[in-house]
Structure 1
Amino acid sequence: MVVNSSELASSLRAWRDRVAPAEAGLAAGGRRRVPGLRRQEVAQLAGLSVEYLARLEQGRAGHPSASVLMSLARVLRLSDQERVHLFRLGDQAEPLSGQVKRHITPSVQRILDRLTDTPVTVVDASWHCVTSNALAYALTGDTSALPLREQNLAWIIFTHRSTRYVRTDEEERLLRLEVVADLREAWVRYPEDTELRELVADLQEVSPDFAELWERRLPPQPAPGHRTFLHPEIGPITLDSDFLTVRDSDLRLIVYTAAPGTEAAGQLDLLATIGLQQFS
């Protein structure tokens, strides 16, 4: 099969037209010449250049990668069936039963859109950060423009990348056990997932600690129910963290909250005031 450029182009335009700005968390902005999202808005939300998206919508872009198609499926609120159709048009292998399910469904996207006062990050079974809402990016730092590997939390943890997430030695130990146990389970469940296997192989090569934990096959330990972030303007913020599993998916929502009336709740309010300015 080859890329069906004309059908891909027309489908992308049609799907873009049906997504209302409010669904994507955007203001309507007065009169609009298109019924749905502007091309610039889709490009920004998907992490693409406007020029590249224009070529896709004009049938001039060649072979889009699987990661590009996945990002477009998320932004355009495609159903599972529509996502499969998109991959076929783009001449990419469809996500199979032996692969991690990373697709952001329209219902999950609506949750992210509605929880504007609560930081939420979505990770898959390989601990890849699929997306976050604006408040979560304001809290943890915006990683959406980084290379895909550097958006993976397991890679960040075991290669000692600098982040705003601060933890004690004991919290670090428990987190590493949790991550390795999760990756081991995903490894067994998804034998055909190339991205997962490459991640594990690379981690074994660059991190002796990961390689040792991987071979020991240890069970996960109960992880702390809170996380502390060092924000450059607000300072340390300690929040409760809960992992919510999405049914019929490999996605988990990491939701950060604070009890009403606490210092952390006030810090979240402040973050919503000053931290979202760069995302407006």
Structure 2
Amino acid sequence: MSGATAPAIELDDVSLAFSSGIGASRRTVTAMAHVSFSVAPGETLGLVGESGSGKTTTGSVVLGLQRPDTGTVRFQGAPLARSLRSRAGRMQAVLQHPRWALDPRSTVLSSVLEPLLVHERRTPAVEHRAIAMLEQVGLPASFAARRPHQLSGGQLQRVSVARALVTRPAFIVFDEAVSALDVSVQAQILNLIQDLQAEHGFAALFISHDLAAVRYISHHVAVMRAGEIVEHAPTDVFYDLPSHPYSRQLFQELSS
């Protein structure tokens, strides 16, 4: 399949297990079991499940930060390259706690510039691109000189989004990206992500336990339980009538 028509990301029968404990207590924990899904350019797959279900591990495997034991991960139609540098800027992530992702000693401009400087020199033109990206996520150019402690949680997450998008990636993982924010700020960030996706056409994996946020932002939903995808459906179909008993149980638990 050519890169022009291929999914942005595709997992084919991916499994991954970890060993934990020592001696007689040593055991194998299945993090992913025969996981298959794809995400088309310009679309978002919402991945939901309880804590420990394997969602974050799936995000790490999709980004190439962990190698699966079996199965194949494809990026734009080709097997995912082992070299992180070879795909630097083409895949990005926005995490739950932006304060952990941003160097407290660096200015906002330096943080947004960092992904660009993997392949480019710092020049006035490159700095202008970073400042333009800040403005695109709703932060004035004056914020470029600030440091993380001078920003609110919502502003920090906007910086994280700018940092992820400044290289124009084809695929972004949002791992609990709004769960630490106030409800009103969550809505602002979700709207921002939607607007930027419409403009730039990136594919996204939106990992969350927040069913309302997933419904708002996702085109399709996959439900994960103990490392397995137990249900996968278009968002409207899933929320109208989840078919798997675990999905219905999850609705009850996370909505209570």
TM-score where L is the length of structure 2:
0.26
Q: Which has the larger radius of gyration?
A: 1
Q: Which has the higher helix share?
A: 1
Q: Which has the higher strand share?
A: 2
